[in-house]
Amino acid sequence: MPMASSEKQLLLDTAQDLRLSLIDVMAWSGGSHIGGSLSIVDILTILYFKYLKVDPKNPTWEDRDRVILSKGHAGAGYIPVLAKKGFFPKEELKSFNHFGSPFAMHPDSNKVIGCDVSTGSLGHGLSIAAGIGLGSRYLKKQYKTICILGDGECCEGSVWEAAMSVAHFKLTNVITVVDRNRLMIDGFTEDIMSLEPFGEKWRSFGFEVIEIDGHDFDQLDDAFAKAWSAAEKPVLILANTIKGKGVDFMENNVVYHYASGDSAVCEKAKSSILKGGQ
């Protein structure tokens, strides 16, 4: 069922607002993984503002859905989402990266309210998701665990160890999303270490692969609706995204994997976000 236009508009507005926050965090923190943060904004937006059952007033609620940002370097994209959801005031993000702050480049679940798992070292998240999936199934819990992987991260062998487990144990309560923005630090994934045929790889590991445009809310909505009701095979959402999405001069530009910005750059970025309508 197509999304109502009012609902879609709300998601578009939320995503736009989050992108603006990301630019603020880039400035406050003195630098962030802005490219790979912008590429997952729409994925995080539909998750936190449509799908996830979480309660900012009770962040450790036992039955909440869990999110694991396996590409932990996008913490500067993820943590503002938690602020917007109401886990803590956005004002607190001004301390990002600074001495004693709960907020670092890579999120610490023991410090960031609403963050379920500490991540940062790549290739760890999906194993933890598998563990939560096995544990919650044993405990007869209904919640979902969503694991967001970077595409470059999938060079790590441990991702595929975990993939085997998710498929072997038929963990349909784990939803895996790959942010396929095609860039890693040193260049394009296909130049550094080719991942293609990427969807085929996941399929052969036993996943139901749903390939979508990771910036299209209708497609994201369909994909997560299917993933939420998966009963046979675990779902992998292969989200084709654009690194730096929403800021014209950052899009597909490897320079903006990690960047800092002076006020002029931030203004330019914000103006591009506002012009983009997202």
- Give contact residues for another protein (rule: CB under 8 A): 62, 66, 108-110, 116-118, 120-121, 123-124, 126-136, 138-139, 141, 157-158, 161-162, 164-165, 168-169
What is the token pair recorded at 269? 């970025």
Distance in Å, CB of 198 to another protein, minimum: 20
Token reading at 30: 């003195």
Least separation in angstroms between residue 77's CB and another protein is 21
Nearest CB to another protein, comparing residues 135 and 187: 135
Q: Which is nearer to another protein, 19 or 124 (CB)?
A: 124
Choice between 90 and 141, CB closer to another protein: 141
* Residue labelled with tokens 């600074």: 98
CA distance 29 to 257: 15
Cβ pair 28, 101 in contact under 8 A: no
Give CA–CA dist 20/32, Å, rounded: 14
The CB-of-36 to another protein minimum distance in angstroms stands at 20
With a CB cutoff of 8 Å and minimum separation 6, the contacts of 195 are: 151, 154, 155, 189, 201
CB of 127 to another protein, least distance (A): 2
Closer to another protein by Cβ: residue 39 or 145: 145
**262: which 2 tokens?**
């002076």
Output 139 or 264, the one with its CB closest to another protein: 139
Cβ atoms within 10 A of the Cβ of 138, count?
A: 8
| Short-list 155, 111, 132, 19, CA closest to 68 | 132
- Smallest distance from another protein to CB 265, Å: 33
